[in-house]
Structure 1
Amino acid sequence: MFCVVYLLRFRGCWLSRTQILEGNAFKGFLDFRRVEPEARHRFGPRAMVAKLLDPRRLEHSLTHDLHWARVVQIKEGGIMVEGKELLFKGAKSSAIECLQTWWCIVDHETGYAALERMRAPGVTTGFHPNDD
């Protein structure tokens, strides 16, 4: 499904609403499926992976893949997907798992308006998945 994705975290820490809105939005195809069979020994037999694919080259991801992904909520023109990014410091280093949350806007008018409204009282980041 084609959508616009905003990253809500950086290296596991929530971004503020202004950082999210001023940051780059990625436009691509959201691919949400089980992990490939050859990688199930690492991630688990029922693990899911979310990818944002480049519309021009569908074999290329626009962002880091979300491993152990899950859909947190579907509302107001968007889908909130949460998982872990695997970041590497070098060629031989082991992966660092960082929490990441995507706000995937499917309906542009209502999804972007929801992104601008989202803030949790008492939270300085300005964005929280439990905010209604």
Structure 2
Amino acid sequence: MGLFSKTRIAKFWGAGDSQICCSGVDCEDNEFTTYNHPNMRSEGHVATFSISSGDDAQGLFIHVHYTGHWSFAVSPSNVDIDELPDWEITREWGTVNSHSETLSIECPKAAKASVVERVVEE
């Protein structure tokens, strides 16, 4: 990324057994807890975040999982498009917390992240 880059790095990681942290992107909050967010639960598939660039055809869902360790999965947010956006995605283990993956996404500077209603398992 250059000095006048049109992108920024969004980072997601888990903390403790109930918190998801977000930095580097406009988000409704930087720390989300499973105790007080209506679209989150405490284990298994904990939450789904959406990163949107303002272009409806381009975006990501980030699926957050907790099984004693935090991990993340990504998918396109538009069901009509099968490819991920052309955003660099980096996964590291234990760089912020020893029990969590750190997911880094180089996304457009105008991108915003939020927790969205997740698919409920039946």
Return the TM-score normalized by structure 2: 0.32
| Larger RCO: 1 or 2 (CA < 8 Å, sep 6+) | 2
Higher share of residues assigned strand: 2
- Larger Cα-atom Rg: 1
Return the TM-score normalized by structure 1: 0.30
Higher share of residues assigned helix: 1
